[in-house]
Chains A and B, each alone.
Chain A
Amino acid sequence: MTTPVLSVENLVKEFYVKTTAGLRSARQTVYAVSGVSFAVEEGQTFGLVGESGSGKTTVGRCVLRLLEPTSGNIAFKGQNITSLTQVELRPLRRQMQIVFQDPYASLDPRLTVGTSIAEPLVVHKVPGDHAEKVASLLELVGLSPDHSRRFPHEFSGGQRQRVGVARALALNPSLLILDEPVSALDVSIQAGVVNLLQDIQKELGLSYVFIAHDLSVVRHISDVIGVMYLGKLVEVGPAESVYTNPRHPYTTALLSAVPEPNPVIERGRQRIVLTGEVPSPIDPPSGCRFRTRCPRAEERCAVEEPLLSSAGGTHQVACHFPNEVPVTLGGAGH
């Protein structure tokens, strides 16, 4: 077996917040990510889905060490990068880049997009003709080389996101963290950016970590999917397997909550509407973190934390009472 491009083991990230109750102030811990492990193989896309507060973005930032993990190991092409100093990390940063959700906020409004795209080349002191590289990058993402002299406000949302992708590709990375890259775009525009990401992945042999809350887009683009709930991975497996045969009650509920753009299927199918909302990561439930909203929770779930274990092949689930038989969600499978 080849070494995965990225391998994350038991990643933990805790934040500390100061809270005041009356006159007393106390320090509380936010358990944002609690023991997450996964691997991304070369040329593949690992989709990370979960609702707000599930910790998916924190995982992405920790992988790049934009946030320092509290504990755990992150290996890039077999090399442990968790304890490297920032100086030691620099050459590796060229190979790991990130694309953010809001391309307007992540591009400097006062720099031409050409300057923005060339900035990583300058920072990393890459020799050679930057203008030529910028022109070829713009072409790669479906824009014209003439666009390099324009400013971000002259572009539409979809075009700006293409600029964001071009900048991320400037240093010829092998891994891209895509943090909700199409969430802010209209569907008709979103499709073009998704196609672009798939094309350049094939062309350049890139590996992706695709973070999103839109389950249909994640399914479309991912080879392997990890489902997060309140700081934990509750289910991991090949995309088709997770979607057609979800084993975790949370995954089942999440998939059934996505409205299908077909009124006949949508109105005919059985839905599992979860009650309540995601608990606070400051005080997560004991045992299984999903148990407070789980239709199947029993006493054991409060005491014993379920660990990720095989549910057939590479499909893993962290649940004491996983779905035994394939659950058919009308529409989700066809």
Chain B
Amino acid sequence: MSPILSTRDLRVTFPTPAGKVLAVRGVNLDVERGEVVGIVGESGSGKSVSFLSIMGLLPPTALITGSATLDGTELIGADVKTIRSVRGKRMSMIFQDPLSALNPVHRIGDQIVEMILAHQVMSKQQASERAVELLDLVGLPQPAVRAKQYPHEFSGGMRQRVMIAMAIANEPDVLIADEPTTALDVTVQAQILDVLMEVKSRLNTAVVFITHDLGVIARIADRVEVMYAGMTVERAQVNDMFASPGHPYTRGLMASLPQVGRQRLQPIVGSPPNMIAPPSGCAFRPRCSEATDECESAPMTLVRVGKTETACIRAQELGVSA
């Protein structure tokens, strides 16, 4: 079966007074129907920008090249009509901060109704009933009462549930979740993750979950893509990535986490590269303890080594399971 969402050589560049920021530098990604893909990376790795560009949500100054297709429909460079027929209907997105994504002066129910009527033909009455159903589906108590309230009357976790309700209102094929639980407390995060997984299995929606939290990835993802400096550096099934990470960056991320019995944490030295002038060859090279001269001209293309695909040219000799 062909993937529902595909990107080929997706690149995003932002012109700034200081120079061109190469935020995304050639991302090739396939998302299958109904799967949960975890996108991991640090701030500035291009993980959010990649998906904002696919959703057509970047400012017009951003230069986007390459290809992104949803079920065969090209999205990069598509006209407004095409984008509108896809965005919010076949593909939708939720964000870290639900308060800024909701209109403070409209009732929650009306905002969901607006979302439904933008893409479906039905009466306002039917749409209102559907809105209450959706709020019930995401586990909001007293959905009929809640639908008549305003965003400020909701807690952070409740607002995120509302965002999920809106995002799935038109039963999209792909739901992109950009750090939706980062601002929430862990007990609320657990609830939201459960809601997302419930929705996913009911609607068979593919979920792209962007996060820097490896614990969340371990809980929900089927497959993981690790991003660094605007590129994918590792791709694997979730169990394989945690069992034998193939890229030194992935290993570094895992070693920097506090764990029982770990007396001392191992940070990754240095800082993420300046994306106006990223390092030649492997972008992780300046921070990598395994880097050799060869890495200066190494292509960052994914090669299968053992059970993972990694962009490290030394993966084979370093031993993936090390």
| Residues in A lying within 8 Å of B, measured CB to CB | 51-52, 156, 158-159, 186-192, 194-195, 198, 213, 215-217, 219-220, 253-254, 257-267, 271, 273-275, 277-278, 333-334
Q: Which residue of B lies closest to A219 (CB)?
A: B258
Q: Which of B201-240 contact A (CB under 8 A)?
A: 212-219, 221, 238-239
Are A188 and B268 neighbours in the complex by a CB distance under 8 Å? yes
The reply to whether B155 and A260 contact each other, CB–CB distance below 8 Å, is: no
Give the shortest distance, in Å, between B287 (CB) and chain A (any CB). Answer: 8
A273 engages B190 (CB within 8 Å): yes
Tell me if A261 and B271 are in contact (CB < 8 A): no
Indicate whether A266 sits within 8 Å of B215 (C-beta atoms), given known contacts A191-B265, A215-B186: yes
Q: Which residues of B contact A (CB under 8 A)?
A: 42-43, 155, 157-158, 185-191, 193-194, 212-219, 221, 238-239, 242, 252-260, 262, 264-269, 271-272
Given contacts A195-B265, A260-B218, contact A216 B186 (CB under 8 A): no
**Complex: A166 Cα to B266 Cα, angstroms:** 21
B residues near A254, Cβ cutoff 8 Å? 186-187
| A195–B267 touching, CB < 8 Å | yes
Contact between chains at A188 and B42 (CB < 8 Å): yes
User: Mostly helix, strand, loop or mixed at chain A's interface?
Assistant: helix
- With A187-B256, A191-B257 known, 7 other A-B pairs at CB within 8 A are A187-B253, A192-B269, A195-B267, A257-B186, A257-B190, A261-B254, A277-B188
A51, A257, A264 — most chain B CB neighbours (10 Å)? A257
Contact of A273 among B155, B191, B216 (CB under 8 A): B191
In the bound complex, do residue A188 and residue B256 qualify as a contact, i.e. CB atoms below 8 Å apart?
Answer: yes
With A186-B42, A277-B157 known as contacts, the answer to whether A259 contacts B260 (CB < 8 A) is no
Give the residue name and chain of the B residue nearest to A273 (CB). B190
**Among the listed A51, A220, A334, which residue makes an inter-chain contact with B186, where contact means beta carbons less than 8 Å apart?**
A51
Could you tell me if A266 and B218 are in contact, using CB atoms closer than 8 angstroms? yes
Q: Which of B185, B189, B213, B267 contacts A189 (CB 8 A)?
A: B267
* Number of A-B residue pairs at CB separation under 8 A: 120
Given A189-B267, A261-B218, are A273 and B256 neighbors across the interface (CB < 8 Å)?
no
Measured CA separation A159–B258 after assembly (Å) = 20
Q: How far apart sit A219 and B265, CA to CA, in the bound complex (Å)?
A: 13
Contacts of A219 in B (CB 8 A): 258, 260
Residue of A nearest to B254 (CB): A261
Complex Cα distance, B215 from A271, in Å, reads 14
Pick the residue among B42, B187, B260 that contacts A253 (CB under 8 A): B187
Q: List 23 A-B contacts (CB under 8 A).
A: A51-B188, A156-B271, A159-B271, A187-B42, A189-B271, A191-B267, A194-B258, A195-B265, A216-B258, A216-B259, A219-B258, A257-B189, A259-B190, A259-B193, A259-B218, A261-B215, A261-B218, A261-B254, A263-B221, A266-B215, A273-B187, A273-B190, A278-B185
Q: Are B216 and A259 in contact (CB under 8 A)?
A: yes
Say yes or no: A274 contacts B257, CB within 8 Å.
no
- Bound: A265/B214 CA distance, A: 13
Chain A residue contacts of B187, Cβ below 8 A = 51, 253-254, 257, 273-274
With A51-B187, A195-B264 as contacts: A277 and B158 at CB distance below 8 Å: yes
Contacts of B252 in A (CB 8 A): 188
User: Which residues from A are CB-within-8-Å of B193?
Assistant: 259
Partner of A263, one of B239, B253, B254: B239
Q: Within 8 Å CB of B266, what residues of A? A: 191
Contacts of A273 in B (CB 8 A): 187, 190-191, 194
Residues of B within 8 A of A156 (CB): 271-272
Considering only CB atoms, which chain B residue lies closest to A256 in the complex? B190
